[in-house]
Structure 1
Amino acid sequence: MTAFDKHQVACFRFVRCDFAVDTGVARLVYAFDQGPEMVETITVPGAPFVLEPERAAAVQRALQLLHLIAGVSYYKAAVPDTVTIDGYRIDAATAALVETVYLNGLGEFAYRNGLDLRGRFRLPVQGEQVAAPTLGLRSHALVAIGGGKDSLVSIEALRRAGIEETVTWIGGSQLIRACAERTGLPTLNLSRALAPELFELNRQGAWNGHIPVTAVNSAIMVLVALLQGADQVVFSNERSASYGSQIPGTGEVNHQWSKGWAFEQAFGNHVQRYVAADLQYYSLLRPMSELAVARQFTKTDFYDAHFSSCNRNFHILGERPVNRWCGVCPKCHFVFLALAPFMSKARLVRIFGRNLLDDLDQAGGFDALLEFQDHKPFECVGEGTESRAAMATLATRADWKEDALVKRFCNEILPQLDASELALEPLLELQGEHRIPAALWEHVRADFTA
């Protein structure tokens, strides 16, 4: 294999995709105009799958959508100007959706690499739009779990609402498995294997960086829901996910764009219109802020010893983390701060193993969350408004106000803020657009405001 030169690549190809009902393996094949084919595989337990013709056709539509969205991992290696689809034709609506995912989902990638992707990724439109049929899917939710507080809040809310659910995750994390098993509900573990050639391209200097992984996972779970005959795919993205980092001279760059409302609305609508009319994709937590989710989570301690939102567990420490919280990353900082107003100090310190707000060495990390002298981190954390309100609340609490970072906030940051914007209660209200089915929304709205 000749050395990979990203600047010499002229074309990215969506070569083909297929799904074997006898093995449950989906194959997504990609290539550049130079170099070998790159084959990604998704393995779905439960094979063999027996599909009547109409559902088989919907599976094929979902497979092609997954092929297009998952290609973002490979396209980004060279970001060429020309893109082709070799094995099938797509319509204008599909092209528009996928182009939006690539442009916005690669926003942080483009910013960090100094690239301008506007108008660069364009898909060939050759097919006609055909409305999706109603398949008669059973009432059942596949609920994505990532091991953190948010998905556990959704899982328990769906349980209380009487929705049959299967707790679903992608990959081999033992931490997520333990959390999923703690729910006592049926579980489904999906496998995703990236093409090994991609890692070789990265070693040879390919463009690399953050991708919209929630978009990929959403497309995987839509495919799996159709194979399972389930009518709901449920994520746990709150309204704060729609708010990105405000970069001076650049504008907004949202690390978690595919967790935001714009993606959920576009993707969910597309699935219902063109894949399966009775397959509903939604986030159960969309009307909630991160702080509202945190408050809901603290109502039970059932998961205190099992959950973790620390991304370092999934990237550095491997499948068996020594500690579920590293205590120094933005996720650890934010979850600690978000839970603090609603949880006893003793319980919170027991979860994390230490008091993160009594460590001056971590001032810079918390400053970024507060958007004080820094922008919001490129992480899945809440808005600066939420962090400021949480910190201001702790400053009024006798058990917190003497801690080093709370005291620093009072002395150095609080005088520069507008006191009228630091109230906690308005941030806990349910508000904003969502795709939650109407009957379920009435139930969870009462549940979350109880």
Structure 2
Amino acid sequence: MSRFIFDGYEFDVATNTAVFKYRFPEKNLSYTETIVFKSGDVQYSQEALVRALDLAHVLTGVSYYKAFPTSEVEFANGGVDGWQADFFNKVYQEGLSQYAYENELTRDDLAKFVASMETPPLPAVAYNGRGIVSMQSGGKDSLLVAALLDKSNTDYTPFYISSSNGYPAILDSLKEPLVLAQRKLDREGLRRASSLGGKNGHVPVTYIAMSYALVQAILLGKNTVLVAIAHEGEEPHGWIGDLPVNHQWSKTWQAEQLFAEYVRRYISPDIIVGSPLRRYSELKVSQLFADHAWPQFGKEFSSCNVANYKQGANNSKLTWCGQCPKCANSYLLFAPFINKNELQARLGGELFTKPELVDTFKGLLGVDGIMKPFECVGEVEELRRAYRLAVANGYAPLPFEVPLSDFDMDSTYDSQEQVSVVTLGF
């Protein structure tokens, strides 16, 4: 059986560059990933930084591990305790559930981290940084957080991860200057893995991005990382035995709690990571965006992955393809609150009447047994409610019956109190 080795990492303090290393010894295959962060004019906590890099190293590894899934994972240096083993097993099993489904794997085929008592983890440290890093993507949720921070006159640092010097131009319209980190995947290693028959598939990228934002926050002397995630991902697409299949696992409330607890236990209890939108449904967030952010960002933002986020794509100007599940989902969520002429001009026409989107909408709305798309989309009941509100707002109906829903968009959900109070100017 092949093994996947976490082969250590380096951090160059002169250039703020992290180099993460991994290998499959039986495949004679190694990877090196580089992430370049921005420096700040502060004396940052080296102790907190090391602990955050430890986390980022393991989470980043999932991008390479997936080529040749194995239960055998090892650390070239150090190890994990029991709680960490359980945490990383969640990431590498439930976080890879869509990948497992698409590659016909089971939980038993995936990584099994085992506690090592020989090298106990470093204890958490006290941390006295202050300030907010707000993760940005150019999509509705992160721009809403920025708008609410602005509305409440709260200082923050917007943060974006790119594979180049490029980023969505809409982020230049934020009140605060953008901080950009550059992630350089080991594309040559990935190509070699593919030539050897390696597998591919979706990874829990939100967790990876959160770990980079955490590192960047420490380098800037900040103590709060805001990720923009509503109540979502709680509805699995299906099951593989006892493994729920979920495209959005790393966006779930469980995942946020686990990440925050990891930070508290192993990095610092004085650092906060979480989403101020967690207590709201996607439909409520769309209403809030329409009320608080559409006038500023409506003509430039996008949640469409197809048009903007393919590898190597130039996403300086965000657009919508008008053909994919993300576009269909956004159309459903915004139609109750945005004039149809304005929304249709932005998203590419009257999506409810496009024949090629009928099955996509059936999947989103839970009709005819069609599986919900493997995308970050709303839950069936809230999307059914959104559809009824859209038709009442003058939108043409779909060519099939949509079940009624009593979904209450004003319901609130569990969230981290210390995160929820950060922004809330409404």
**Residue pair 1:225, 1:231 contacting (<8 A) in 2 also:** yes
1:350 paired residue number: 345
Name the CA shift for 1:173/1:413 in 2 (closer, same or farther; >3 Å): farther
Q: Matched residue of 1:230: which SS? A: coil
2:409 paired residue number: 427
Give percent identity, aligned residues only.
Answer: 29
Partner deviation per Cα, 1:301-323 (whole Å, 9 max, x = no partner): 21112101000121178115787
1:160 equivalenced with 2:151 (yes/no)? yes
Distance 2:241 2:195 in 1: 31
1:145 equivalenced with 2:136 (yes/no)? yes
Residue in structure 2 matching 1:309, options 300, 303, 309? 303
Q: TM-score, normalised by structure 2?
A: 0.91
Aligned residues: 418
The alpha-carbon deviation at position 81 of structure 1 amounts to 2.8
1:319 paired residue number: 314
2:81 paired residue number: 91
1:244 paired residue number: 236
User: Aligned AA for 1:45?
Assistant: K
**Residue pair 1:172, 1:319 contacting (<8 A) in 2 also:** no
**Residue pair 1:309, 1:335 contacting (<8 A) in 2 also:** yes
2:378 paired residue number: 382
The alpha-carbon deviation at position 351 of structure 1 amounts to 1.7
Q: Which moved more, 1:198-207 or 1:143-152?
A: 198-207
Q: TM-score, normalised by structure 1?
A: 0.87
How do residues 392-403 of structure 1 correspond to structure 2 at under 5 angstroms?
392-397=388-393, 399-400=394-395, 403=396
Q: Matched residue of 1:240: which SS? A: coil
Stretches of structure 2 that go unaligned for 5 or more consecutive residues are none
Distance 2:78 2:241 in 1: 41
Larger helix proportion, structure 1 or 2? 1
RMSD (CA atoms) = 2.4
Distance 1:335 1:407 in 2: 15
Distance 2:312 2:350 in 1: 22
Partner deviation per Cα, 1:243-290 (whole Å, 9 max, x = no partner): 232369887411010011111000111102210121100111101111
1:185 paired residue number: 176
Partner deviation per Cα, 1:139-191 (whole Å, 9 max, x = no partner): x1111111111111111112223332111111147884312111131211101
Name the CA shift for 1:434/1:279 in 2 (closer, same or farther; >3 Å): same
Distance 1:354 1:175 in 2: 29
Name the CA shift for 1:98/1:249 in 2 (closer, same or farther; >3 Å): closer
Partner deviation per Cα, 1:403-444 (whole Å, 9 max, x = no partner): 2xx152xxx424xx3x4xx245x1233x22112417826x62
Residue in structure 1 matching 2:401, options 413, 417, 422? 413
Distance 1:162 1:356 in 2: 38
Name the CA shift for 1:316/1:280 in 2 (closer, same or farther; >3 Å): closer
**Residue pair 2:238, 2:245 contacting (<8 A) in 1 also:** yes
Stretches of structure 1 that go unaligned for 5 or more consecutive residues are 1-8
Distance 2:241 2:20 in 1: 38
How do residues 29-428 of structure 1 correspond to structure 2 at under 5 angstroms?
29-33=21-25, 34-46=27-39, 50-51=43-44, 55-118=45-108, 120-124=110-114, 125-126=116-117, 127-128=119-120, 131-138=123-130, 140-172=131-163, 176-195=167-186, 196-246=188-238, 252-299=244-291, 300-312=294-306, 313-315=308-310, 318-320=313-315, 324-373=319-368, 374-397=370-393, 399-400=394-395, 403=396, 406-408=397-399, 412-414=400-402, 417=403, 419=404, 422-423=405-406, 426-428=408-410
**Residue pair 1:310, 1:331 contacting (<8 A) in 2 also:** yes
The alpha-carbon deviation at position 92 of structure 1 amounts to 2.3
Distance 1:304 1:27 in 2: 38
Name the CA shift for 1:129/1:67 in 2 (closer, same or farther; >3 Å): closer
Name the CA shift for 1:193/1:369 in 2 (closer, same or farther; >3 Å): same
Distance 1:323 1:226 in 2: 30
**Residue pair 2:150, 2:175 contacting (<8 A) in 1 also:** no
Distance 2:419 2:276 in 1: 12
Partner deviation per Cα, 1:61-118 (whole Å, 9 max, x = no partner): 1111111111111111111232110122332222221111111110000011001134
